[in-house]
Chain A
């Protein structure tokens, strides 16, 4: 039987505010346990939550960026459940009236393919603390520094049809929240988390199959693997006569499998109700328009500008606008030398990306800074060095041996463009290889490559290849 996969994602983006959503404690990552957990975060009696204006503004920014309807009146609700990382016994979230309504995001899961994915809603809520299960043999340690950190939960429609599409969607949201400056996107630190609702159904069926929710996914690679594992598990189960049960499953990256999470609370019965401690949040048209006007250039607009104004290819433009990091790198370098846009885009997407991937570094901590790279490209553009030598200089810059000019000078890599010197090299090679000269004159064009190779070798790669070709042809003419 042919199966169709249906996936919806719930993404939790930690909003980049300085203080928490309902208290004035710091949200900074990595502090000593419980040093950033105040009376409100601890749920002590008598405290009241007071909403952070920036959390609201950031949520609206996201909503405006995906063309969503912004809730003019949104309401906070209590989601009740008992767990020690949530001392109040409930999480303040939004239920019936979220701040961000229906919107959409266009994704490009592969070159040339475009799909529009619906965003059902996005709502504000507070994060829970952290449970440390391995710290003590018989107890669980609780660190409430994270409790109360603002989250934007972004819920997609079940529009995604493969793990690949799910990853493309998650990456798009990840890039967007960073461009908007509302989330740092750090997946290792848990600032951006994905849960996937996965179900399968026979191809052509409209009713949805029973879904499993996969949690604990902290990278895009794992998101793809976890979904693919889960699809296979569900199809095997059904084909063997079994039934998928609705449950939460945890992804285990080491074993590459999902497994049922035994929950102490058997049924999820959250008993949502409006939080009496918080009044409705009203947002006016003027608020929304002010935020719209303050939005930075978004990835889609960047992509278009790169194609239309810089004449980059569609593909390069898509990649260079694909994340805040790479776009910032590109634009910093570009500002120094706008005329080199095409050469620059090729180097960023080629040698630089390759080197960064190999050493698992990001654009922000690249040893070759935008300034250094532009210094190198200038020397290619003005014919000081060839593209081949440039790779050698790039490697030296990567190893912190200085800037391009210093390296070219120190290593004597300057291209030989003096035609007298090149002619001398050509003459030597011709004199040493009379047989090949004969062959060329008899019409064997291929021999030209042999001569160029010899000459470049003699010049240690420094002869200008264009000039070599031109002068060589002239000299080989009978």
Chain B
């Protein structure tokens, strides 16, 4: 399978990655070869194999429902680029 330059641009956009135009063909080639590898693995018959969600054979540990976090807003907001009235400020998002 080979990716077109438009596919690479779209993937980069969805992942919010800035890539320069002259590197697109390199990415297209590299990503395509990964997809080729996947295509090769698709040849293996996996009819009786359970899909695996996680490589470790373990189960999720659960946490009791208790509030133990305290308010650390001042600390968190001291590293934020723009805050006002307790809110984080970002460029206007209009739906």
Contact = CB atoms under 8 A, between A and B. Distances in A.
Contacts of A132: 87
B67 A25 contact: yes
B87 A24 contact: no
A358 B91 CA distance: 45
B66 A83 contact: no
A327 B51 CA distance: 46
Interface string B43-68: 00000000101101011111111111
Nearest to A83: B93
A139 B89 contact: yes
Interface in B63-90: 63-69, 71-73, 76-77, 82, 84-90
A261 B86 contact: no
Contacts of A291: none
Contacts of A84: 88, 90, 93
A280 B51 CA distance: 12
B62 A53 contact: yes
Contact of A131 (B15, B54, B71, B93): B93
A381 interface: no
Contact of A135 (B60, B68, B87): B87
Given A34-B73, A280-B59, A139 B92 contact: yes
Interface stretch (A268-276, A293-301, A460-468): A268-276
- Chain B CB count within 10 A is highest, among A32, A34, A54, A96, for A34
A39 B69 CA distance: 9
Interface stretch (A15-23, A60-68, A105-113, A367-375): A15-23
A281 interface: yes
B18 interface: no
A83 B94 CA distance: 11
B41 interface: no
Contacts of A32: 86
A21 to B, nearest CB: 10
A18 B93 contact: no
A438 interface: no
Interface residues of A, number: 59
A133 interface: yes
A35 interface: yes
Contacts, number: 131
Interface residues of B, number: 37
A82 interface: yes
Interface string A42-86: 101000001111111000000000000000000100001011100
B59 A250 contact: no
A138 B91 CA distance: 7
Interface in A116-167: 131-133, 135-136, 138-144
Contacts of B62: 50-53, 56, 281
Contacts of B89: 136, 139-142
A262 B84 CA distance: 28
B67 A26 contact: yes
A35 B53 CA distance: 34
- Chain A CB count within 10 A is highest, among B15, B16, B69, for B69
A271 B51 CA distance: 17
Contacts of B95: 250, 261-263
A135 B85 contact: yes
Contact of B67 (A19, A55, A262, A263): A19
Contacts of A89: 16
A88 B66 CA distance: 23
A26 B63 contact: no
A33 B56 CA distance: 38
- Chain A CB count within 10 A is highest, among B56, B62, B77, for B62
Contact of B76 (A18, A42, A278, A280): A42
A279 B58 contact: yes
A55 B61 CA distance: 13
Contacts of A131: 93
Question: 6 closest A-B pairs (Cβ-Cβ)?
Answer: A141-B87, A54-B65, A53-B62, A33-B86, A279-B60, A38-B69
26 contacts: A17-B65, A23-B69, A24-B69, A34-B73, A34-B87, A37-B73, A38-B69, A38-B72, A44-B76, A53-B62, A82-B16, A136-B89, A139-B90, A140-B93, A141-B88, A141-B89, A143-B86, A144-B88, A261-B95, A269-B14, A279-B54, A279-B56, A279-B58, A281-B59, A282-B59, A282-B60
Given A54-B65, A279-B58, 6 more contacts: A36-B69, A51-B60, A84-B90, A279-B60, A281-B60, A281-B62
